[in-house]
Structure 1
Amino acid sequence: MKILLTGATGYIGKRLLPVLVEAGHEVICSVRDIGRLNVKKYPEGQVKVVQADLLEPGSLEALPKDIDIAYYLVHSLDLSGDFSQQEKQSAQNFIHYLNATAARQLIYLGGITNVEKLSRHLSSRKVVEEELAKGQIPLTALRAGIIIGSGSASFEIIRDLVEKLPVMIAPKWLETKCQPIGIRNVVEFLSGVVGKEYTYNKHYDIYGPDLLSYKEMLMGFAQVRKLKRRIIIVPVFTPKLSSYWLYFVTSTSYTLAKNLVESMKIDVIPKQNDLTSRLSVKLLPYKKSIELAFEKIEQNLVLSRWDDATGGRIFRDGLQRHIKVPKFGVFTDKQQMEAVDAEKALQRIFAIGGRNGWYYADWLWSFRGFLDRLFGGVGLRRGRKNTDDTSAGEALDFWRVLYADKKEKRLLLYAEMKLPGEAWLEFRIDEYNVAHQIATFRPLGISGRLYWYGMLPFHVFIFKGMLSKIVK
């Protein structure tokens, strides 16, 4: 079958794509930025990438009309402001396009919405489903609650809380109930309903076998990791305070934390159905999902992370607009040293950041990350997806990878920390085995210039030391 996959660069999309390819389908990936999806590893001709923005109807003309199945996996949870209106508009634009195609089925992954009082996030999910259902193409809607898997937002938040806090003073919403589902099961459901006519124009809650409170999920995680933890529930946590609690302790952004807290205050109890048995899906218990997640992490086989699809302005503008580093009206710090072993130096460059650190004066990097969090930035807590490789579009501490090519021996990063300007950090090794490290800063007004000169002594110290460690 010929399948259109929207949201192909997101957490779910990246997991679903290889499954569809393995099943023999031809997959058209709709992305806002072609540079963020590498499909070279798939058989030639089986995966095609098309650039389209669902908020720009004209761009959808580039998408094919001769498709059999379409997936709608677009989600805007980390957007601030009125993300619900953007999601509704995206769905309306997509349906307008889809009605003119040969598609026989539209598959959508939303959230469980079985209570009257919904959070903004879940309300938006419901509205999107309603808009998609208005189209001429039969809709199969799958509704999931908390998704557990390596790199998922829920998994990473739980991991941060449990591994960093021996004792937690926690809000009352930790007693809220839900039925978490493993990412493997989610992908099984998404791929399993393809072409199943009995699912047309129907919706199904998909869920794991365990009904748990968020407190029980935290304690269950601790048991899997063999950690002793204590949780004290207090009623004085306001939603805003809860959001700050998640923001400062975990790797999530404040906007995402706020939206999650709104949803977590509501019991997410699924409605029973027969889809699990009809598709022969073997549901994974919560603790087993955690164990499998850590297996992937330990094997360095994490396919996607929740922050793959978030990047603020850089993703709205597109990576290509930032790859060309400005040469005028900027400050630069250039370092170059001959590499003792060019191959090892290249490996260090592509492994930089995350738990590997920045090779020199890590305490200063940590302090800069702490300051960034204080001022509402992402800090260093995002880490990196894989320990020894990276690709365009991925988060890397408080940077975003713009360009990564080992054959060209080049890595280009763009700063997502709070700055009075824009910053790039580039590493490359030339044909003479000389390693080049270039930090570029485009200041915004007087404050940007003061920032650069104030940081200059630290830059000289840090950047020279970092490159010396890379080339040794």
Structure 2
Amino acid sequence: MTRVVVTGATGYIGGRLVPQLLDAGYEVTCLVRSAWKLTDVPWRDRVRVVTADLSTGDGVRAAMEGAEIAYYLVHSMSAGGRFEDTERRQAEIFAAAAAEAGVRRLVYLGGLHPAEGRLSSHLASRAAVGRILLDSPVPAIVFQAGIVIGSGSASFEMIRHLTEVLPYMPAPRWVRNRVQPIAVRDVLRYLVQAAGLPDVLNRTFDIGGPDVLRYGQMMNGYAVEAGLHQRPIAALPVLTPWLASQWVNLVTPVPRALAVPIIASLQNDCVAHEHDIDRYIPPPEGGLLPYRVAVRLALRRERAGEVETSWQNATVAGAPSDPLPSDPEWAGQVVFTDERERHSAASPAAVWRVIESIGGESGWHSAPLAWAARGWIDRLSGGVGMTRGRRHPSRLNTGDVVDVWRVESITRGRSLRLRAEMRMPGRGWLELSVRPDGGGSLYRQRAVFFPKGLAGRLYWAMLLPFHGIIFSGMVASILREAERDPHRD
């Protein structure tokens, strides 16, 4: 079995490449600086993890021992300062260690850039790293990719958050520059198959998807796939890259240290100048994914209404476009939650009886006027309101209606998940669960809201002051009723 080393396995591309390599039959060693970041990934027990430091070289040579292929997928943009010097030094250490260990192939993922003209520091650094690897004794494949589209990609997350938050987008004039985005699954396909290319190959390959778009077109393509109105974009000549990065940092969760180099790179057209890779790795049947299809895949979990509980429950890796536990906190769909838990002297069975009888004639255990008002607002806006009640007073099944909610899932005696069917700018769920805790039980309650655009964020912010009254009141009332249950176990 061919052994490969992957640096940057805790990063966006590396974390998605590892399971693809495993599925392709490779033995994988992950060279990481912080091994704990891989604790919860689904493939942790299938790889060898080696702690090493590319800044000093400590442990790098040992991690390469016995490997035939080495992937270089690290960058230092978020470190700030002179990240170009850091990236150059780390690439030299990596290449030297690979040569000493007898590695026969290096693979690197850089970025598309113009053949001539002044590059941003971000693109110039990526190009310099590629040259270092190509000039090393070990043959290298250097992919130069367009903006990678998938949940967790910094460039994609910037598009996501800007489009969802801003109904109108002031932007630098170079927002009209052309880019060639590529789906993350196509990038991973190239990276995996690069391991099997002839050893004599030592060159760059441009890779990009089938669409060449302006950045503004990408934002509006995202808006269409996310069910939002298209965003008017005003190109302002006075908005410098630095000012634009401050703006991005203000209205999105993408860190400024990442936003600055990404925005600066948009000053250049980033399109493929050649398609030589097709001679060695032909496109898949049906071709590379178009931009909007890639966005659709990145949003599929949100569109399907999936609500994750914890990554510890994950057993297999998802699609490349799906989020991973190693992704940064700012990546992915914005999700607002209100979580509460409390111990009760009542048995789990007694608490469950109250949970399963919620709604209808039993009510919602707090602020009845607030619930009634919300129902009337829903009716006035064309929704179903609170008039539907429930079919059975004490028993629920998947699919049952409970006032403005519907039972999405139920594990009898343990947990109930309700999906909101009221009219609101987003999607919401209410989860109620109970488990044994000492001589009593632990009750947990979680409200989850996926906002849609700026209206969804404002909606949550407007209701936030009332959550302390409504949701804390629910907890207290549900447990109080369970503790005085005459059938208390």
TM above 0.5, one fold?
yes
Paired with 1:433 and 1:196, the residues of 2 have a C-alpha distance of 62
Q: Is the 8 A contact 1:150 1:297 kept in 2?
A: no
CA 43–214 in structure 1, closer or farther in 2 if over 3 Å, else same = closer
Paired with 1:26 and 1:227, the residues of 2 have a C-alpha distance of 44
Query: 1:153 matched to which residue of 2?
Result: 154
Q: Is the 8 A contact 2:5 2:31 kept in 1?
A: yes
2:292 corresponds to 1:291: no
Larger Rg: 2
Q: Secondary structure at the match of 2:282?
A: coil
Question: What is the aligned counterpart of 1:260 among 259, 262, 269?
Answer: 262
Paired with 1:310 and 1:40, the residues of 2 have a C-alpha distance of 13
Matched AA of 2:15: K
Question: What is the aligned counterpart of 2:239 among 237, 243, 248?
Answer: 237
Paired with 2:111 and 2:188, the residues of 1 have a C-alpha distance of 15
CA 3–250 in structure 1, closer or farther in 2 if over 3 Å, else same = same
Q: Is the 8 A contact 2:120 2:265 kept in 1?
A: yes
Counterparts of residues 36-435 of structure 1 (less than 5 Å): 36-38=37-39, 41-42=42-43, 46-114=46-114, 115-197=116-198, 200-229=201-230, 230-276=232-278, 278-281=280-283, 282-298=287-303, 301=318, 308=326, 337-338=343-344
CA 199–257 in structure 1, closer or farther in 2 if over 3 Å, else same = farther
Matched AA of 2:252: T
Q: Secondary structure at the match of 1:208?
A: coil
Paired with 1:199 and 1:40, the residues of 2 have a C-alpha distance of 35
Matched AA of 1:104: R
Displacement of 1:433 in angstroms is: 7.1
Q: Is the 8 A contact 1:138 1:200 kept in 2?
A: yes
Paired with 1:62 and 1:122, the residues of 2 have a C-alpha distance of 31
Q: Is the 8 A contact 2:149 2:181 kept in 1?
A: yes
Displacement of 1:85 in angstroms is: 0.9
- Give the CA RMSD over aligned residues: 3.4
Q: Is the 8 A contact 1:105 1:200 kept in 2?
A: no
Q: Is the 8 A contact 2:342 2:475 kept in 1?
A: no
Q: Is the 8 A contact 2:41 2:325 kept in 1?
A: no
Matched AA of 2:197: K
- What is the CA deviation profile of residues 76-110 of structure 1, one whole-angstrom value per residue up to 9, with x for unaligned ones? 22221011111111111112211111311100001
- What is the CA deviation profile of residues 374-429 of structure 1, one whole-angstrom value per residue up to 9, with x for unaligned ones? xxxxxxxxxxxxxxxxxxxxxxxxxxxxxxxxxxxxxxxxxxxxxxxxxxxxxxx9
Structure 2 unmatched runs, 5+ = 307-317, 330-340, 352-435, 445-464, 480-489
Matched AA of 1:28: T
Q: Percent identity?
A: 35
Q: Is the 8 A contact 1:151 1:302 kept in 2?
A: no
CA 93–340 in structure 1, closer or farther in 2 if over 3 Å, else same = farther
Displacement of 1:302 in angstroms is: 7.0
Q: Secondary structure at the match of 1:78?
A: helix
Q: Secondary structure at the match of 1:136?
A: coil
Q: Secondary structure at the match of 2:142?
A: strand
Displacement of 1:198 in angstroms is: 6.7
CA 165–67 in structure 1, closer or farther in 2 if over 3 Å, else same = same
Paired with 2:202 and 2:269, the residues of 1 have a C-alpha distance of 26
- What is the CA deviation profile of residues 432-462 of structure 1, one whole-angstrom value per residue up to 9, with x for unaligned ones? 678799xxxxxxxxxxxxxxxxxxxx9xx99
Matched AA of 2:109: L
Displacement of 1:228 in angstroms is: 2.1
Displacement of 1:153 in angstroms is: 1.4
Matched AA of 1:174: V
Paired with 1:23 and 1:218, the residues of 2 have a C-alpha distance of 34
